[in-house]
């Protein structure tokens, strides 16, 4: 990464680093399409009123206006602002295009978003997200909650990020448990539980007692629930052992059981029931997901989301959905920082076509055209310097093969890594498969 960024929070990758980012995006795209998700792209701007419907995030939203604009009203709901995530634009997109979509509608979307927060490790002001959602018209089968967990497990397993855990909870389970305890403000309990990893059990217990009105026994029970983590369905027995009963708890347990049961068979070791997961956004109503890299938990969640009973509504029509969002830039920054993978070379070119003299440029272009016509990326020398200098230039560029055209019209190609030089025909020569495309290692 370009180390001396003139604006913090706005990452700019060097060419070899961009190859890594492109590899991540291509892998996600391929996986999402294998699971039947269609790609869409929405505009970069929304009205401020539309964006602020998601909650109190006005301090994070970048407004958009002309430099010459006069008397701008910052509170005008129709003024434009850059989107800070892809869910709000997707909700608008669904409502506006509902008549042209087949429901349940499966979409993936990979775009930049902008968020005005303090830059730090893994947090940027401009970054790329990759979202997948399934949205229904009126109703949406719970099986999609299960399917999205498996899709994300497939996608992340295909990336060079090491081990990860997709941690899953259910809001109905948590709310039913708290109500069964006699706590009538489950949202306040969830907000407290959401602080566990930052402030610890005793500090959360104090909040529950002093601010939420829980007894010590109720606080201890809420903390006991949050401590349950399993890679199989044994969480059900552990919750039941706490002795709390409520109809909503039963529903949440059954839904989470379905997710973990399927994942333990189809993605063993990757998906975990974690009853401490709360998710900060109020609109999640059932399944909630968060994902961490094992050994890099301090980075925070790299992929999160959940079920919402109302992504959007129009008149009497309601559009429930379930979705997850991957922080691509956060992932790439960690891949690069940990040197988990690197680009095979810094440029896409496989071949550097040399010039024997200044009059051979057009002949060299004919060679390049023939190679490109067969999908072999190449570039032509700009001047007829000594061959040694042309080879050194190709080496600095990271181009593995150098092409020579002899006076008698024959051709030779040299692998400058090994020194091997062979006779070649531009209409048939092909590099080894591992060199044909710029890959990551």
DSSP state of 252: H
Judgement on whether residues 356 and 286 belong to the same structural domain of the protein: no
Residue 376 lies in a domain: yes
Residue 54 lies in a domain: no
Judgement on whether residues 112 and 257 belong to the same structural domain of the protein: no
Task: Please say which residue of 284, 314, 343 terminates a domain.
Answer: 343
pLDDT tens string 394-416: 999 999 999 999 988 999 999 99
Could you tell me if residue 232 is left (phi over 0), alpha (psi between -120 and 50 degrees) or otherwise beta? Answer: beta
Judgement on whether residues 144 and 198 belong to the same structural domain of the protein: no
Residue 55 lies in a domain: no
Q: Give the CA radius of gyration of the chain.
A: 27
Judgement on whether residues 427 and 401 belong to the same structural domain of the protein: yes
Judgement on whether residues 3 and 31 belong to the same structural domain of the protein: yes
Secondary-structure breakdown of the chain: helix, strand, coil percentages, each rounded to the nearest 5: 40, 20, 40
Judgement on whether residues 18 and 110 belong to the same structural domain of the protein: yes
Judgement on whether residues 113 and 15 belong to the same structural domain of the protein: yes
Judgement on whether residues 189 and 226 belong to the same structural domain of the protein: yes
Spatial distance between the Cα atoms of 365 and 380, rounded to a whole number of angstroms:
7
pLDDT at 4: 60
Note every long-range contact of 221-226, with CB atoms under 8 Å and residues 24 or more positions apart, other chains counting: 221/177, 221/181, 222/177, 222/178, 222/181, 222/183, 222/189, 222/193, 223/196, 225/174, 225/177, 225/275, 226/193, 226/196, 226/275, 226/276
* Domains identified in the chain, total number: 3
Average pLDDT for residues 320-328, to the nearest whole number?
96
Q: What is the DSSP string of 181-227?
A: HT-S-HHHHHHHHTTHHHH-HHHHHHHIIIII---HHHHHHHHHHHT
pLDDT at 5 over 80: no
Average pLDDT for residues 74-93, to the nearest whole number?
90
CATH number of residue 426's parent domain: 3.40.50.800
Residue 286 lies in a domain: yes
Judgement on whether residues 254 and 359 belong to the same structural domain of the protein: no
Residue 256 lies in a domain: yes
pLDDT band at 282 (very low <50, low <70, confident <90, very high): low
Judgement on whether residues 281 and 330 belong to the same structural domain of the protein: no
Q: Which residue has the tokens 């409502």?
A: 95
pLDDT band at 58 (very low <50, low <70, confident <90, very high): low
Residue 77 lies in a domain: no
pLDDT band at 316 (very low <50, low <70, confident <90, very high): confident
Judgement on whether residues 368 and 332 belong to the same structural domain of the protein: no
State the sign of the Cα–Cα–Cα–Cα dihedral 371, 372, 377, 381: positive
Judgement on whether residues 195 and 281 belong to the same structural domain of the protein: yes
CATH number of residue 234's parent domain: 3.30.930.10
How far, in Å, are 143, 267, 361, 425 from residue 89 at the CA level? Answer: 25, 31, 50, 52
Average pLDDT for residues 122-128, to the nearest whole number?
91
Residue 52 lies in a domain: no
The residues that bridge with 288 in the sheet, in sequence order, are: 169, 306
pLDDT tens string 155-189: 999 998 999 999 999 999 999 999 999 999 998 99
Residue 204 lies in a domain: yes
Structural domain harbouring 387: 351-436
């Amino acid at each position: 990464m370009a180390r001396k960024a003139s604006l913090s929070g706005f990452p700019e990758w060097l060419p070899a680093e961009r190859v890594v980012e492109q590899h991540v995006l291509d892998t996600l795209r391929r996986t999402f399409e294998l699971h039947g998700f269609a790609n869409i792209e929405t505009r970069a701007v929304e009205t401020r009123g539309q964006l602020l419907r998601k909650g109190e995030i006005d301090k994070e939203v970048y407004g958009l206006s002309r430099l010459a604009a006069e008397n701008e009203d910052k509170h005008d709901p129709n003024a434009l602002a850059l989107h800070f995530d892809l869910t709000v634009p997707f909700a608008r997109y669904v409502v506006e295009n509902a008549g042209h979509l087949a429901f349940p509608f499966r979409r993936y979307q990979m775009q930049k978003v902008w968020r005005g927060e303090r830059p730090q490790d893994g947090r940027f002001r401009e970054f790329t997200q990759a979202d997948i959602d399934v949205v229904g018209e009126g109703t949406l089968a719970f099986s999609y909650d299960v399917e999205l967990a498996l899709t994300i497990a497939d996608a992340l397993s295909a990336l060079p990020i090491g081990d990860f855990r997709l941690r899953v909870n259910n809001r109905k389970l948590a709310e039913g448990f708290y109500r069964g305890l006699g706590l009538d403000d489950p949202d306040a309990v969830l907000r407290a539980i959401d602080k566990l990893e930052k402030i610890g059990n005793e500090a959360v217990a104090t909040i529950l007692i002093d601010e939420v009105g829980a007894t010590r026994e109720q606080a201890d029970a809420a903390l006991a629930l949050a401590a349950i983590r399993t890679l199989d369905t044994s969480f059900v027995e552990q919750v039941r052992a706490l002795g709390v009963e409520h109809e909503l708890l039963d529903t949440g347990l059954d839904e989470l059981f379905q997710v973990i049961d399927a994942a333990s068979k189809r993605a063993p070791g990757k998906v975990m029931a974690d009853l401490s997961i709360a998710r900060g956004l109020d609109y999640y109503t059932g399944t909630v997901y968060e994902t961490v890299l094992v050994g890099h938990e301090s980075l925070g969640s790299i992929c999160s989301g959940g079920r919402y009973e109302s992504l959007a509504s129009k008149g009497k029509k309601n559009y429930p959905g379930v979705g997850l969002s991957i922080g691509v830039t956060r992932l790439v920054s960690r891949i690069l920082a940990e040197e988990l993978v690197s680009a095979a070379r810094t440029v896409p070119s496989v071949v550097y076509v040399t010039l024997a003299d200044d009059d051979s440029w057009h002949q060299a272009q004919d060679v390049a055209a023939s190679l490109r016509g067969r999908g072999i990326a190449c570039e032509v020398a700009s001047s007829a310097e000594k061959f040694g200098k042309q080879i050194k230039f190709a080496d600095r560029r990271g181009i593995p093969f150098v092409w020579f055209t002899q006076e008698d019209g024959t051709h030779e190609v040299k692998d400058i890594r090994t020194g091997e030089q062979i006779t070649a025909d531009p209409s048939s020569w092909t590099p080894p498969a591992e060199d044909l495309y710029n890959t990551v290692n």
